[in-house]
Amino acid sequence: MKSISVVRNVLEANDRIAEQNRALFDENGLFVINLMSSPGAGKTTLLEKTIDALRGEMEIGVIEGDVQSSHDAERIAHKDIDVVQINTGGACHLDGNMIRDTFDAFDFKRLNLLIVENVGNLVCPAEFKVGEDVKVMILSVTEGEDKPVKYPLMFRESTVLLINKTDLLPYLDCKVEDIRREALKINPDMTIFEVSCKTGEGLEAWFGWLRDRVKKE
């Protein structure tokens, strides 16, 4: 029982900080996405494609989370985007306090959209709020059809699911309709996009979803 109490206390403390973060984001009319997936599903590539598509329409900031290295942040910086790298030093997720520590690096009054690329993991990131408006997850078809069943919390917490790397479907024993069915059993309100960040197929629907939700006050 003691360990359960400790975990509950940690989550409650994080929720309080996340609410403070959210209040600041709302004050600045900033739409915030917590982007989650397993390693290699295509989060950073999706970010690059999204930045290219929406450049000129809105100002975007990015927070990159990794256990170590600044590789992903360097990729985003090449897009001339405000980006901050967080290295967790072993932690499997970002939390509200880590996000708050980046605030001095951004001019929130100038930004319309802030995307937090969380640490690659299908478990912990779903449990910790960072102050986001929505959680968005990416699932690569190479990961198989069983992930909704194995990691239901991630699907339950996410507003949007992007099923990525659909260009590889001809070479895989994976049925997208099975992923859709199992995901919607867990979260009937989830919006699902089938995309290929390599070919660009399906991405315009994702860009349109973002355009509809990002409104600078």
Query: In this predicted model, what pLDDT tens digit does every residue of 145-171 receive, in sequence order?
Result: 999 999 999 999 999 999 999 999 999
Q: Answer yes or no: is pLDDT of 25 > 90.
A: yes
Give me the numbers of helices (H) and strands (E) for the chain, helices first please: 8, 7
Per-residue confidence (pLDDT) for residue 47, from 0 to 100: 97
SS3 content of the chain, % helix, strand, coil (to 5): 45, 20, 35
Closest by CA to 43, choosing from 139, 153, 135, is: 139
Closest by CA to 115, choosing from 152, 153, 160, is: 160
pLDDT digits (tens, 9 = 90+) for 55-91: 999 999 999 999 888 899 999 999 999 999 999 988 8
Q: 217: pLDDT confidence band, cut at 50, 70 and 90?
A: very low
Per-residue confidence (pLDDT) for residue 156, from 0 to 100: 98
Q: 216: pLDDT confidence band, cut at 50, 70 and 90?
A: low
| CATH numeric code, 2-213 | 3.40.50.300
What SS3 class is residue 174? Answer: coil
Residue ranges per structural domain of the chain? 2-213
What SS3 class is residue 97? Answer: helix
Q: Which amino acid is at 113?
A: L
pLDDT digits (tens, 9 = 90+) for 187-205: 999 999 999 999 999 999 9
Q: Which pTM value belongs to this model?
A: 0.93
Per-residue confidence (pLDDT) for residue 139, from 0 to 100: 98
What are the angstrom distances between the C-alpha of 163 and each of 9, 74, 75, 112, 203?
Answer: 34, 25, 22, 25, 11
Residue in the structure block whose two tokens are 């992930």: 147
